[in-house]
Structure 1
Amino acid sequence: MSESDPKTLVSTDWLERHLKDPDLRILDGSLYLPDAQRDARAEYDNAHIPGARFFDIDDISDNRSDMPHMAPSPEKFISRLRAMGVGDGHQVVVYDGAGLFSAARVWWLFRLMGKTDVAVLDGGMPKWQAENRPTEDLAPMIRDRHMTVQRQAPLVRDVTQVAAASKLGDHEIIDARSPGRFRGDEPEPRKGLRAGHIPGSRNVHYRSLLNDDGTMKDAEALRGIFTRAGVDLDKPAITTCGSGVTAAVLSLALEHLGHRDHALYDGSWAEWGMYGDLKVATGDA
């Protein structure tokens, strides 16, 4: 990525130049699947980008839901972010320890709450550290900042809306999971879920959008990947995955491309795969 856009993606160069900006807030949004055997909070405590706060995706979620890390209420989002010293007028940059994985989910949550001055650090902590940029293990100084949000309902879809879109074919439903999980060849990591995908959906594995260093591919390459997967970029899109995390990588890529008409299916396969009355497709189509 040659140019930084503080509403989608910023480079490590851009972030280091802006580290001392008074209205910059950096968030570590790391989240790992159990098989990664990594402790996101412990890694943050050991080393983080100077001034970064830890954004706990599992905590800043709707804990009343049976689904994993569903979007929180606006009230909870405001409460947690104010406690972290993040509020109105701040430029937010989110990174994670995988490169570009869960940080996109945090970006999407901010967008859902009507906050647009938020970007993901391209390449994340691995690229930052590989370039020998500064880190620290100090807790940041927190000053309370007022925050107002306005939830953007068009950016999220529930199971009823996705079922309608699947039946009508009026949206492109794009699945970020691996090809094996999409086809139904690989078992689901969560117990009790059926294998396969939402009928009519297209498969764009989130990793296919990334370079070897964890940065996002350029716009031309992204457009080609979506098109080859059968995605009509002139249609509105719904992104989905296993639990609503890597779907946000697709949403970030679409936004970076200039495709503004996209929403995320928050329940994703953790919800769809659980209900026997919802149809499941297998194979490549």
Structure 2
Amino acid sequence: MSTAAHYGHPEAIVSTQWLADHLQDPSLRVFDCTTYLIYEANTGRPYRVESGRRDYEAAHIPGSAFLNLQGELSDTSSPFNFTMPSPEDLAARLAAKGIGSGHRVVLYARKNMQWATRIWWMLRAIGFDEAAVLDGGFDKWQAEGRPTQSEIVHYPPATLVARPRPGLFVGKDEVKAAIGDGGTCTINALAPDLHSGENPRYGRPGRVPGSVNVPVGSLVDAKSMTLRSPEVVAGTFAAVGADRSKRIILYCGGGIAATLDAFLLHQLGYSDITVYDASMNEWAKDETLPIEVG
């Protein structure tokens, strides 16, 4: 049997052609998940969160609705952006947006697929397995000259029962406990300048001690905005010591970029993968937590 790298869950990655061919499927639910992070200097915060709704209202894939991650799907009582709500709460919110049993969900974003993989990972955490990410997102769809619309879409409410998968998200205590553990590989999905500490965007510069760097940008082709090949992605993770026998903890700034790394590790057959939800938004500000630079 071949041991060549491959994506083991191809149903969770759909092409623009596949989506174009299935747009009229009545069981399909398509969502624009775009969020923008606006980086502003001297504000005391790493970025300003801006919904992609305005761009959605200007033009979107025909038949697609909009999901506002921060405003509609996150625990806004948390001091950190994008915090995962309880499984039951999230299921209720998604059901209100039209996601339920018997639906096939396709998620897409603009400029960066990580917004789609974030919601894909959240769906997986509550036991919904009929979701996919559009490879290349809206950027590829638009570059190919495919049709768009500006009419706002709302799906009728559905019924979605949470069947939680414990362990897909993790907190700071478990991340701290894993430092120095040879059976765990902790991976930072942020850009190299943030990993090294050269860029102090999140407060104290640096990274979780002992963590390695697989920037989310290294996993996507910058021109086509599509995922890199299984061989390239597998080699990238292998190069930092991410062995399948290890537990993998992924983090970034706010638990978003880390989900694209997590999505691809899942595709490659890794089984013990978790995302540190609050990530550097929490870690860099907590003086009791160790940090490493260089």
Q: Same fold (TM over 0.5)?
A: yes
Inter-partner Cα distance in structure 1 for 2:199 and 2:151: 42
Corresponding position of 2:240: 229
What RMSD in Å do the two structures reach over aligned CA positions? 1.9
Corresponding position of 1:96: 109
- Whether the 8 Å CA contact 1:6–1:118 is kept in 2: the answer is no
Instruction: Quote how far apart the aligned CAs of 1:83 are.
Output: 2.1
Corresponding position of 2:66: 54
Corresponding position of 2:198: 185
Corresponding position of 2:15: 11
1:271 paired to 2:282? yes
Q: Deviations over 1:124-175 (max 9, x none)?
A: 0000000111211112253221111112121111111111111433211110
Instruction: Quote how far apart the aligned CAs of 1:254 are.
Output: 0.5
Inter-partner Cα distance in structure 1 for 2:215 and 2:24: 36
Deviates more, 1:147-156 or 1:165-174: 165-174
Instruction: Quote how far apart the aligned CAs of 1:99 are.
Output: 4.0
Task: Using structure 1 for the length normalisation, give the TM-score.
Answer: 0.92
Q: Which consecutive aligned stretches of 4+ in structure 1 deviate over 6 angstroms post-superposition? A: none
Unaligned segments of structure 1, at least 5 residues: none
Inter-partner Cα distance in structure 2 for 1:110 and 1:211: 25
Task: Using structure 2 for the length normalisation, give the TM-score.
Answer: 0.90
Matching residue's letter, 1:200? G
How do residues 30-179 of structure 1 correspond to structure 2 at under 5 angstroms?
30-35=34-39, 40-59=52-71, 60-179=73-192
1:24 paired to 2:34? no
Q: Deviations over 1:186-221 (max 9, x none)?
A: 121x4xx21101111110000000112111111111
**What SS class does the counterpart of residue 282 from structure 2 fall into?**
helix
Deviates more, 1:123-132 or 1:101-110: 101-110
Inter-partner Cα distance in structure 1 for 2:133 and 2:14: 6
Instruction: Quote how far apart the aligned CAs of 1:118 are.
Output: 0.8
Unaligned segments of structure 2, at least 5 residues: 1-5, 41-47
Inter-partner Cα distance in structure 2 for 1:77 and 1:39: 18
Inter-partner Cα distance in structure 2 for 1:194 and 1:70: 21
- Whether the 8 Å CA contact 2:97–2:154 is kept in 1: the answer is no
Instruction: Quote how far apart the aligned CAs of 1:231 are.
Output: 2.3
Inter-partner Cα distance in structure 1 for 2:219 and 2:154: 36
How do residues 254-269 of structure 1 correspond to structure 2 at under 5 angstroms?
254-269=265-280
Instruction: Quote how far apart the aligned CAs of 1:56 are.
Output: 0.7
- Between the two proteins, what is the percent identity of the paired residues? 37
Instruction: Quote how far apart the aligned CAs of 1:35 are.
Output: 3.2
- Whether the 8 Å CA contact 2:88–2:161 is kept in 1: the answer is no
Q: Deviations over 1:36-80 (max 9, x none)?
A: 997511001111111111111102111111011100122332232
